[in-house]
Each structure stands twice: as structure tokens, then as C-alpha cells.
Chains A and B, each alone.
Chain A
Amino acid sequence: MRHKKAGRKFNRTPSHRKALLKNLAIALVKNGRITTTLAKAKTLRGVVEPLITLALRNDVHARRQAYATLGDRTLVARLFDEIGPLFTSTGGYTRVVKLAQPRKGDAAPLAIIEFVKQPAAKSEAGAEAKEEA
């Protein structure tokens, strides 16, 4: 039984789940806002928000820890130099809002996850770029 076991499994193996959340985190840092299922958006908060906290620390070790998730130096630079400086206090960096229309095909409830403060330069591009996952 699942009693008191937290977390979502997404019907995937641990490595598959890790890859999924890594891909979603990369998409969110890249675009600033993505549309995905509600469950994935809620789980993604627990992956991306610690990345912002790393960006607030802003030292070489923190950058390498972020690189372990993002796997791309340009994305780490974007996280630390563009997104991180927008935030000062800890926590609450992302916002999840539900969409009224479920996904066609499997009627999965959809949601938008975005950074509470959008980087100014790419906010226009982030609004139109959407990641279906």
C-alpha cells in the first residue's frame, strides 16, 4: 500500500522519471513558461525551485550542481545571470495555474508552470514557446 509514501511515479522507471523531470526543467529554464499536465507541473516545482536557490548562492559549486540537472552551460548561465537575480527571498519562484480544457486524446488535466518573475529579454519568446510533455 501507498500509505504515507509521497511523490508521483508517472508510471515510469526511476531513470525514465529522472530523465522526464530533467527534460521538463530544461524546457522551463529555456522558455520561462511551459504547458504540461497538472501532475507534472506540480512535481516540476520540486525540481526547478531548488535550482533557483542554487542560483541565489551563485558560486562555482552551485553552478556545477545546477549543471548536473541542466547539462548545458548556456542554460546554467541563463539560470544564474538572468533568472536568479530576479529573486531575492527564498521559495515561491514558480506559479502553476490550471487550464480549463483537458488534453485531447487522454483528457489529462493541463496546467501552465512559469517563473513568478519573467526575464525581460525573453519574456515575449517565452510566452509563445510551449512544451508539450
Chain B
Amino acid sequence: MAVQQNKKSKSKKGMRRAHHNVAIPAVIICSCGNPTVPHCVCPSCGNYKGRNYVEQA
């Protein structure tokens, strides 16, 4: 089995990990004015496509 000859530097490790980023979630503004996720029932008002799905307390 091939084994690395030299230890990778901190710089090389950082360069490799430069693309290890967490995806930024898509956010839209619901008609109620609060941010929500696209294609989902709004957690603030419980509406989606003009219908109410979750009753708000």
C-alpha cells in the first residue's frame, strides 16, 4: 500500500478543507412577513399556498 512520505503541513490541510463548508439554507419571506423555507409550511403563520395547516397558539 502506498504511504505518504511527508506529513501534510497545516497550510495544505487548511487548503484541502477550504471547500468543507456548510450549505447556506434557502430563505424566502412568507406573506406574513417572516422568513421561512421555500416549498414548506411557514412555521410563523402555518400557511402554505393559501391554506392553513398548523394552528398558531
Interface residues of A (CB under 8 A from B): 97-101, 112, 127-128
Task: Give the shortest distance, in Å, between A110 (CB) and chain B (any CB).
Answer: 9
* Assembly CA distance A70 to B30 (angstroms): 39
Interface residues of B (CB under 8 A from A): 36-37, 39-43, 48-49, 53-55
* Assembly CA distance A127 to B37 (angstroms): 23
Q: Which B residues lie within 8 Å of A127 (CB)? A: 55
Q: A112-B53, A127-B55, A128-B55 are in contact. Are A101 and B39 (CB under 8 A)?
A: no
* Assembly CA distance A1 to B52 (angstroms): 42
> Apart from A97-B40, A97-B41, A112-B54, what 18 extra A-B contacts exist at CB < 8 Å?
A97-B48, A97-B49, A97-B53, A98-B37, A98-B41, A99-B40, A99-B41, A99-B54, A100-B36, A100-B37, A100-B40, A100-B41, A100-B42, A101-B43, A112-B41, A112-B53, A127-B55, A128-B55
Q: Which residue of A lies closest to B39 (CB)?
A: A98
Task: Give the shortest distance, in Å, between B56 (CB) and chain A (any CB).
Answer: 13
Task: Give the shortest distance, in Å, between B43 (CB) and chain A (any CB).
Answer: 5
Q: Which A residues lie within 8 Å of B49 (CB)? A: 97
